[in-house]
Amino acid sequence: MIRVLVAEDDMITSRLYQMHFRRNDIEGAFYTTGKGTLEAAEASPPDVAVLDFELPDLRGLEVMKALHSTPGCANVPVIFVTGRATHGLEADLKAEGAVAVLGKPFSPLELIERIRQLAAPKAP
């Protein structure tokens, strides 16, 4: 089963993730703060991380950088979902290591498809 770490402080968006993850056999661990997200990653590295760009305690970019410096998490693919998506922000986040940036509102089906692609075993 694919394990996804989610940092999202909006409860409606978080519930949307939960509903679609359950329907698609994806195990999600949900946190409302960057600190909680990073503690969870340290305890159990995920297959994929989905981060909101603006969290109450840290910016998503800070969370991604800290995640990638966490033992066992250097190569965890990060998808950003944000209400502030612009071409400039998307380019900046990708330059820092994000694999995708989705603007809110987003297509849950697109998110699920990206998660599956990113978590798929890579051929040797």
Beta-bridge partner residues of 26: 2
pLDDT in tens, 21-52: 999 999 999 999 999 999 999 999 999 999 99
Q: Cα-atom radius of gyration of the chain, to the nearest Å?
A: 13
Tokens 């989905």 sit at which residue?
50
| CATH topology (fold) of 2-119 | Rossmann fold (3.40.50)
Residue 87: its H or E element: helix 87-95
What's the pLDDT at 29?
97
Residue 8 has pLDDT above 80, yes or no: yes
Q: Global pTM? A: 0.94
Task: Report whether pLDDT(6) > 80.
Answer: yes
The pLDDT confidence band at residue 124, using thresholds 50, 70 and 90, is: low
